[in-house]
Amino acid sequence: MAYVVTLTLSPENVAGVKVASNPGLRVLFGLVDVSTYNSTNVEISGITKHFSNTSPHVVIDGISDNGFMGRWDPTNGTIVCYALDGTLSVTASSTSLTEAQDGVDVGVFNFIAIGLG
């Protein structure tokens, strides 16, 4: 099962900010919808392609709209998602993290990405 992600960039994205002799900072923000999760965690090129050969710093919501926890993996340029207690999503009584099951609709995260453009 493929890792399926839909990226929606906000129209207000900053094209670039010059910083001394650097090629410029790039800032992207918007929504990323992980509609079909897969533990192979394919690179989200819709984010990474906007930055030079260094990985951007990406911050995402802690919990998606479907109740999954997520974190940006800078090594692979992707979002790794977790459920608590082996259930499909986070609940108030959850105590342990488990990577989300393949094929599950993890949901939508807000994100902001900052790096060299």
Q: How high is the pLDDT of residue 11?
A: 74
Percentage of the residues of the chain whose pLDDT score is greater than 90: 40
Question: What pLDDT, in 10s, does the model give residues 56-106?
Answer: 999 999 889 998 999 999 999 999 999 875 555 555 555 677 889 999 999
Instruction: Report the mean per-residue pLDDT for the chain.
Output: 83
Residues in the chain: 117
In the chain, where the domains are located: 4-116
For 4-116, CATH gives 2.60.40
What are 114's two structure tokens?
A: 């900052």
Adjacency order of strands within the sheet including 69-73: 69-73, 78-84, 97-99
pTM over 0.85: no
Under a CB-based contact definition with an 8 Å cutoff, are residues 115 and 57 in contact?
A: yes
DSSP 8-state secondary structure symbol assigned to residue 67:
S
SS3 3: coil
**CA 50, CA 67: separation in Å to the nearest integer?**
28
